[in-house]
Structure 1
Amino acid sequence: MQRKAYVSAAAMLLAAVLAGCTGGSGVGGSAPDSKGGDTGTTAPVAQPGKYRTLPEACGAADHDTLDTLLPGIQETSDEAQQEKAYAGEATLTYDTDRRDGCDWKVASAATTDHLFVDFERVVSYDNTVSDESKAEELFATKQTSAGLPAPAASASTSAAATPSPSDSAGSPAADNAGGDNGDASGAPSGPASGVPSGSASGASASQAPADLQPRVLDDLGDEAFLDDKLSTGSSTAQQRTVTVVFRTSNVIVTIEYSEQPTASASAPDSKEMQDRAQKLAQKLASRLND
């Protein structure tokens, strides 16, 4: 009788131990990798950007547009050379869904024309900052660097009022830090990596009519600006570079269009070049919205 009583007591003790072990693994228990002190609430995550992919930069401009921007193409008699000129040259990138650019450079009897188009899809690595807000910051930095007034201050753009190396597009350090966009691949961003500064264009811009000076554009994308720089190279011919940068949601598009006369000392026409660059920008904006 004593042995039976002993066995029953041992069985009861074992049952109590097992009950204690399983009691903490129910619904209210913490997962092994959950953060300490987490009461089950989750901080709101910022919305991802509207765009997840990018258009192909070398297919961004049709033949008619390139004929206007680069008149030397039509002067090329060799069909293979002409097709090569239309195709452009893709800039180096390791992720075309994050950044894609293309270069065209064509000489004619009168001028040498160069066109560069760059698409950049901005991604925020901060769960509390949306891709679009991060794109606003980067755009504000570009606009300030061009010598134009910064966009109206907001929660997302105030941090970008002063340009810094970590804010520059295509910066591997910025991308690895996870706090800025840049090129995910860390690859060179092509000729448009630096937007022409306002000081560089000041001499010519100050003499131009108000509607041709570097300025903010109100009818392009979510926000946009235009810069116009006239410079003199090693020869007496003056090169003009018109830059149009616009943002649509989390994508920033940069167009650089430059022209240098072959021999003439006269400067390329500012209005004509600005009109051409803006027409291309409108086409690219429409393509993004398709």
Structure 2
Amino acid sequence: MAYATGAVLIAALAAGCTSDSGSGDPAPDGKPSTPAESSAPPGKYRTLPDACRAIPRATLKDLLPGTADMPEAQQDKVFEGAATVTYDTDRRIGCRWKSDVPEGTRSIHLDFERVVSYDTAVSDDDRAREVYAKKETAADLPDSGTAPESPDASPSGSGDPDSATEGTEGTEGTEDADGTAGTDSADGTDSAHGTDGKDATGDTDGTTSGSPADSLQPRLLDKLGDSAFLDDALSRAGSPARHRTVSVVFRTSNVIVTVEYTAQPAMSTEVPDSKELQEKAQALARQLVDSFNG
């Protein structure tokens, strides 16, 4: 009987100790519970498209003149493109296309970069803005306080190439610098903007100009993604024939897209047509923006 009473007492003491544990006791893992840490929202895009399938075949035919006359097997090889080597295709992916015809060479380089912020206080979009801003600054576009110079003296591709302006030769930048272009003319009108809302080439793209040469300058582009710019570089790069590369860079949410369109005529006396290349590069960029938003 004494043993039974002792057992009851021990059980009662154990029950009392258990009932004394309050709500402030540590969590089962021994760590105090803390509220969930808030973080900046992720970017809109979690994946990237296949760059080598991003441009329709009909568009490639237009961008690569002469390919339509090639044998079908050769066309297929050109339009297939060559994927850019990257270490993480979930974060960056690209593709190149090139055509060599008697008239000259045309090539396209497409690059997709998905920006991810590893700082919980900075969103993917904000981080992408920073990356894009650095690209724009590196492009070193004409300042708003100085009149822009023509990429060459004959932007339409006519004239003596040796008399062309050499200020842009040897530069391969693909982004603008400060987001401004043009200066006020003597009559009080903005020399980078026409009065009728169109540029000198007749295109309503938000990059109007008072003269054909000004309208073809490296500049910011309106209504293309969240922000965009165009660069235009003419160089020899060790070849007797000049080649021109028009680059369009735009950001849509946390993805930055770079389009590089290059032309090199077969004749060393010819200068690639800046207007044609710029129009086609911008048209391709608009297609890509639509594909992201679609």
User: What TM-score does the superposition give when structure 2 sets the normalisation length?
Assistant: 0.70
Name the residue aligned to 1:217.
221
Residue 138 of structure 2 aligns with an amino acid whose one-letter code is S
1:64 matched residue in structure 2: 58
SS state at 1:209 partner: helix
Provide the residue aligned with 1:143 in structure 2.
136
- Given that 1:143 and 1:149 are in contact with CA atoms closer than 8 Å, whether structure 2 keeps it comes out as no
**Residue 263 of structure 1 is aligned with which of 259, 262, 267?**
267
Give the drift of 1:245. Answer: 0.4
| One-letter amino acid of the counterpart of residue 148, structure 1 | L
Alignment partner, residue 241 of structure 1: 245
Q: Give the counterpart letter for 2:38 in structure 1.
A: P
Q: 1:144 offset after TM fit, Å? A: 0.8
Deviation at 1:265, TM superposition (A): 2.2
Q: Does residue 129 of structure 1 match 2:122?
A: yes
Q: Of the candidates 92, 98, 120, which is equivalent to residue 113 of structure 2? A: 120
| Structure 2: gaps spanning 5 or more residues | 144-171, 178-210
Structure 1 distance, partners of 2:49, 2:14, is 67
How many residue pairs end up in the alignment? 233
Q: Name the counterpart of 2:182.
A: none
Deviation at 1:12, TM superposition (A): 3.5
SS for the counterpart of 1:225 is strand
* Cα distance per residue 1:156-203 (max 9 Å; x no partner): xxxxxxxxxxxxxxxxxxxxxxxxxxxxxxxxxxxxxx844779xxxx
Q: How large is the RMSD of aligned CA atoms in angstroms?
A: 2.9
Match for residue 92 of structure 1? 85
Contact 2:229 2:249 in 1 (8 A): yes
Structure 1 stretches lacking a partner, 5+ long: 151-193, 200-206
Alpha-carbon distance in structure 2 between the residues aligned to 1:265 and 1:31: 80
Residues 1:278 and 2:272 aligned together: no
- Equivalence for 1:50: 44
TM-score normalised by structure 1 residue count? 0.71
How far does the alpha carbon of each residue in 1:22-73 deviate from its partner, in whole angstroms, 9 at most, with x for none? x26x586435275x6x6x3334221111112222211121222112211131
Q: 1:232 to 1:198 in 2, by over 3 A?
A: farther
What amino acid does structure 1 have at the position aligned with 2:12? M
Q: Please name the residue that 1:41 is paired with.
A: 35
Q: Distance in 2 between matches of 1:103 and 1:33?
A: 56
Q: Give the whole-Å Cα distance in 2 for the aligned partners of 1:47 and 1:8.
A: 59
Partner-residue secondary structure (3-state), 2:79: helix
The amino acid of 2:83's aligned partner reads: A
Show the counterpart of 2:29.
32
Q: Percent identity?
A: 48
What is the distance in 2 between the residues matched to 1:12 and 1:135?
Answer: 64
